[in-house]
Amino acid sequence: MSNKEIIVALDFDSPMAALKLIDQLDPDLCRIKVGKELFTASGPSFVQDIISRKFDVFLDLKFHDIPNTVANSVKVAADLGVWMVNVHTSGGARMMESAKEALISYGVESPLLVGVTVLTSLSDKDLMLIGIERNVQEQVASLALLAKKSGLDGVVCSAEETKTLRSMLPRDFCLVTPGIRRAEDPRNDQKRTVGPREAILNGSDYLVVGRPITLADSPASVLSELNLAIG
């Protein structure tokens, strides 16, 4: 598989539990996402361990700080050898530009730098409660355009927004979609979910899948099912 669209989210607080899952997966059929919980529990050396097992790693730490701190953080991530790293687009244009500039020296070895727009757990009402008057789709579109203008390689967004974003942005600007669920999967804390095939048709490039795989009796079988659904 030349383009591995599925990114398996390691939603664990234990490196042993994460490795138990990884041992059941094929690096030719998926990529791996390491988020705050697992990274806090296991640290950078664990990320390097996953990479040594031939998996591409999306380091999902959602950096959001002053420009210099974020720039230095993405540079450290690049030194680890990760395939993708992300920042919060709400950190502003200068922060995103600084992060991208920090990766220039890595050339073709630079990780993809993507921006988080609006978390998939947030609704229009949630945005209003934090003082944002735009609805979710308007806010996502605004932040995605800012990310593109700031030089990022793509954004993280719900598949509900990908169709609109794909019509607004170049095809090489990648869209990473969490909240992927099959019809039989519970939504959990994700408020904006969609199936794998629909997500790809809407314009998503990469699909982040967590609990449907990590909690499955046979993670490899679910991964295979998702890849078949994508087609």
Which string of DSSP letters, residue by residue, matches 124-139?
HHHHHHTT--S-HHHH
Integer Cα distance of 86 and 28 in angstroms: 23
Residue with tokens 């719900």: 158
Catalytic residue among 62, 75, 163, 191: 62
**62: annotated active-site residue:** yes
CA of 151: how far to CAs of 66, 114, 144, 208, in Å? 17, 10, 11, 23
Structure tokens of 2? 């030349």
Calculate the CA 29 to chain-centre distance.
17
Task: Kindly list the catalytic residues.
Answer: 62
